[in-house]
Structure 1
Amino acid sequence: MAIFGLWIINKAGGLVYQRNFAEGLAQLTSNEYLVLAGTLHGIHAITSRLSPTESSSGANVIEGETFKMTIFLTVTGTKFVLLTSLNETIAEHILQRIYEAYSDAVMKNPFHTPEMPIRSEKFESRVGAIIGSGQT
């Protein structure tokens, strides 16, 4: 099991947080990450409209040949995306814990502006601890 990276995408489709944890995915520039986040935001919006029987929150998991993207959509429209190996089974649990850390360390910070890039050492350390405990 491996966790490769974490993205947080705001409700407008902008990448507000990106961090890599392990080797295995292509090394991209910051601009390429921004483009990918915007593209994923659009794909997620499209998939939320495709359900033929009832409303849908969109894609929850997207699998490639060598990795899996697990998407957690919050009620405010923020997306938490975890890039993992195909055999990762606790991605949803890890995303829930990261969302709790985000709510605690970022959203309660009076100096953080919503929808802007996340710059919080407290959040960084909590994410590192969550990912570190999730990979064992």
Structure 2
Amino acid sequence: MDVLKCEREKETKFDVNQTNICWVVFALTIINKAGGLIYQKDFADGLNKLSINDYLVLAGTFHGVHAISARLNPIPPPHRPSSTSGNHTKGLSSLSSLSSSTPSSDDRPDPPSGIEVLETTLFRLQCFQTLTGTKFLLFTEPGMPNVESILRKIYELYADYVMKNPFYQIEMPIRCERFERGVERWVRGVNMR
């Protein structure tokens, strides 16, 4: 009902400079590193209702497309070591080549990321991938600001309540009441702004 109220408010506003625009988080989906659905929660109406089988297909499909798009990422040009002057002795030049062959933390390329944002006229899908390969997909209204910070907060809740839970088995569906309450409370606060 609040979503309809926000939609009516948006339709009646013509001044772009007004600051009381309603933003809505529609849903959260969490996919494990193998592409399996481990968590799905709808927070507001606005997207089509899907069956659990549809969500499983969505998770697997997004995982595959994400992996392919990460491989299609353009390759950065190779790093060329700086040339040395000709007055070095042979021992020093071999030592120099040894040190230049060892990559420093600055020389390492960023790992390819895959799809991060998919935006349509009706919704925006933002993906946050952890270092372990778990993907957090947040469905919001298009143009919603600070989606990355919302995802980071949800990831913090995941780390605190799911990963620190001694009864949780990694890569399995999330059944943690404290996590669900925390996410529900956080997203409800975002949707009320």
Aligned to 2:28: 6
- Aligned-partner SS, 1:18: strand
Q: 2:148 aligns with which of 54, 67, 92?
A: 92
Give percent identity, aligned residues only. 51
Q: Distance in 1 between matches of 2:169 and 2:119?
A: 33
Aligned to 1:130: 186
Aligned to 1:67: 123
Runs of 5+ in structure 2 lacking a partner?
A: 1-22, 77-110
- Listed one character per residue, the Cα deviations across residues 5-38 of structure 1 (whole Å, up to 9, x for unaligned) are 0000000000000000010111111011000110
What are the residue-to-residue correspondences of 1:84-123 with 2, within 5 Å? 84-123=140-179
Report the TM-score when normalising by structure 1.
Answer: 0.96
Larger Cα Rg: Structure 1 or Structure 2?
A: 2
Q: Distance in 2 between matches of 1:32 and 1:51?
A: 28
- Name the Cα RMSD after superposition: 0.9
Contact 2:31 2:38 in 1 (8 A): yes
Please state how far the C-alpha of 1:65 moved relative to its aligned partner. 2.5
Please state how far the C-alpha of 1:133 moved relative to its aligned partner. 2.1
Q: 1:31 aligns with which of 53, 78, 82?
A: 53
The runs of 4+ residues in structure 1 deviating greater than 3 Å are none
Runs of 5+ in structure 1 lacking a partner?
A: none
- Aligned-partner SS, 1:40: helix
- Listed one character per residue, the Cα deviations across residues 91-133 of structure 1 (whole Å, up to 9, x for unaligned) are 1101000000000000011100000000011000110121122
| Most deviating of 10-19 and 50-59 | 50-59
- Listed one character per residue, the Cα deviations across residues 52-79 of structure 1 (whole Å, up to 9, x for unaligned) are 1344211110112210100000000000
- Aligned-partner SS, 2:26: strand
